[in-house]
Amino acid sequence: MLAEVQKLGWWTFWHVEFCKVLAPLQTAWIAFSQPVPASCGQLLTQLLLCGSLAIIITGVAHHWLVSSLHYPLGSSVLVATACGLLAFLGLGMVPPVRCLFAISVPTLCTEQGHRLLLSYSTATLAVAMVPNVLANMGAVGQVLKCITEGSLESLLNTTHQLHTAARALRPTGYTGSQGLTLQAQGNGSAFQLHMFQATQQVIEDFSGLESLARAAVLGTQRLVTVLFVLGLLGDSAWYLYRYLTDLQFDNIYATRQLAQQLAEARSTHLVASPPAWLLWATRPRLSRRELLSCLLKLGMPFLLLMATLMTVATDHMTFLLAQAAVEWAQKLPAVPITLMIKYDAAYTVLGFIPFLFNQPPPESPVLSINKSFQWELSFISPHCPLLPTQQPNLAAPLAAGFLQLLACLTVLLETYARRLRHAIAASFFKDQEARRVQHLRARLQRRYDRYHAVVIYLTLLLPSCVILGRWLHLAESQFQHVHNECICTLTGLTFPYRNVIWMEWAFIAFINTRGVVKRLRKGSAETGHHLYQLP
């Protein structure tokens, strides 16, 4: 093998090996694009390819319906199976359907496919991000609700304990002329019920908003999915219809078949100086104009990618905020409160008599109370469960980013995709492609004949010219008197002067002056050109 590589050279060797690898693929494509199989082998290959594509379509449809569109499992299986069966029957029995399916792949790289990819990526991102952000905001709202309920319960519990302490002191509320009154009034249960209903209404409204957002986003994604598939198939069907009915539609490619016919007819001079609209299908190089157009079209995917990054950042920030709030609420400690009441009551009889002798009056104890009340001040209600936070879904942003990068790639590959669509249609409908090649050849022949006739006519009309050898301007005396007899034009530039023409290129035309001055390029005559003056 090394001797073979040294004999052929590395590039030649790899080219030969690459051709060997492509040979089975070319054979399979020939069998797939045949309207009627020519042999049993082609029939078997065609059925095998159609069956494989039908199985792939079934699997993709089932995954799409269950994972992305959230349809029930049973209905998803039925719909996916029906799609696979219809795809197998259509691909196997109807050749235009096979062509339509093949054309839909490069259609993704055209401008329509570019828009469809961006729309579906936006819908995919919205389906995953918006409900996730709302769920995390709901978790933060649940924390506030639990703190409110816990604080109210603790306040009411404190009021109840003070009320109990007041009832304990009520039998001795009045002693002599001294009075002590402790009262705890108010309907604590009604106040607690009112606050609970208010917070519950806020949570229900927020949950309703979240459910509405989920339903709206899911419905939007389903609608965008249907429009995506219908738009892709519709654009492919429209291209195929125009290809089969209009010989001039997308007939701007100089293919190998055209080059072979021109070589056999010895008419290669028709493409010696090709027009600007003629594209060589075998040349992969893009022009500067095509590259500039691709760069300008990359602006929208770039802006959408920035919006995607901002949306993902918002989702992560909301998750971190909700996670911190839930963890902080879970770690809030209960504050123990102890209320100790110590009350001693005593009385004296004729207490002024011991006072006269500077002696303490004897006291007779009446009542001694020493009670302790303990409870906990909790900021989180035990009857209010905290909601778990929703982690950011990484699959949806990755899928949306992949679709957006694919859309950027389709912008760069749009020119090649158009060529590939033409090549696919040509391989399926060879007779129509032959008629289109004949039409393009006749178009080039008419262009060449028209150009050649004009050159011969001007050669006879203008046998000789005097070269001025310097630049001429409108301000010179030769251009003060303009006659509207005839003008000479070159590639769309007209000069309404009696005996002066521009001979930079070979193609010129002899036309009447009426209405031609409108085609004069702005600023061309003012800068001056190398002109020739007729004798």
Do 413 and 483 belong to one domain? no
Do 323 and 410 belong to one domain? yes
Do 389 and 482 belong to one domain? no
Query: Which pTM was predicted?
Result: 0.57
* Within a domain: 353: no
* Within a domain: 354: no
> For residue 336, what are the β-bridge partners?
376
Do 145 and 207 belong to one domain? yes
Do 291 and 406 belong to one domain? yes
* Within a domain: 367: no
* Within a domain: 290: yes
**Token pair 């379509």: residue:** 57
**Which whole-number Å values give the CA distances from 193 to 9, 197, 200, 204, in the listed order?**
90, 6, 10, 16
**Encoding tokens for residue 21?**
């690898």
Beta pairing, strands 493-495 & 487-490: antiparallel
Q: Where are the beta strands (DSSP E) in 404-508?
A: 466-471, 487-490, 493-495, 500-502
* Within a domain: 204: yes
Please tell me whether residue 262 adopts helix, strand or coil conformation: helix
CB hemisphere CA count around 28 (13 angstroms): 10
* Within a domain: 44: no
Convert the pLDDT of each residue in 288-336 to its tens digit.
Answer: 666 777 777 777 778 888 888 888 888 888 888 888 888 887 777 777 7
* Within a domain: 343: no
For the chain, what's the residue count? Answer: 535
534: domain range?
462-535
Nearest to 488 by CA among 474, 478, 502: 502
Distance from C-alpha of 377 to C-alpha of 25, rounded to nearest angstrom:
77
**Which whole-number Å values give the CA distances from 280 to 44, 256, 415, in the listed order?**
35, 9, 12
Do 468 and 415 belong to one domain? no
pLDDT tens over the chain, length 535 residues: 545 545 445 556 566 666 677 777 777 777 888 878 778 888 888 888 888 888 888 888 888 788 767 778 888 889 888 888 988 888 888 888 888 888 888 877 777 777 777 877 887 787 778 778 878 887 887 787 777 777 777 776 777 667 776 676 655 544 444 444 544 454 555 655 666 666 666 666 666 666 776 677 777 767 777 777 788 888 888 988 898 888 888 887 777 777 777 777 777 777 776 676 777 766 666 666 667 777 777 777 788 888 888 888 888 888 888 888 888 877 777 777 777 777 677 767 666 677 667 777 777 776 677 777 777 667 777 777 777 888 887 888 888 888 888 888 877 777 778 888 888 888 888 888 888 888 888 888 877 777 665 555 445 444 444 443 444 443 444 333 333 333 333 333 334 444 444 443 333 333 333 333 333 333 333 333 334 433 3
**Which whole-number Å values give the CA distances from 262 to 258, 265, 272, 437, in the listed order?**
6, 5, 11, 10
Nearest to 139 by CA among 394, 392, 390, 330: 390
Do 9 and 146 belong to one domain? no
Count of Cβ atoms closer than 10 Å to residue 8 Cβ: 13
Number of separate domains in the chain: 3
Phi, psi of 374 (to 5 degrees): -125, 140
Do 413 and 476 belong to one domain? no
Please tell me whether residue 160 adopts helix, strand or coil conformation: helix
Do 328 and 417 belong to one domain? yes
Distance from C-alpha of 351 to C-alpha of 354, rounded to nearest angstrom:
6
Beta pairing, strands 279-280 & 253-254: parallel
Do 415 and 466 belong to one domain? no
**Encoding tokens for residue 82?**
């029906």
**Encoding tokens for residue 159?**
């009021």
Do 305 and 206 belong to one domain? yes
Convert the pLDDT of each residue in 471-488 to its tens digit.
Answer: 444 344 433 333 333 333
Do 126 and 227 belong to one domain? yes
* Within a domain: 93: no
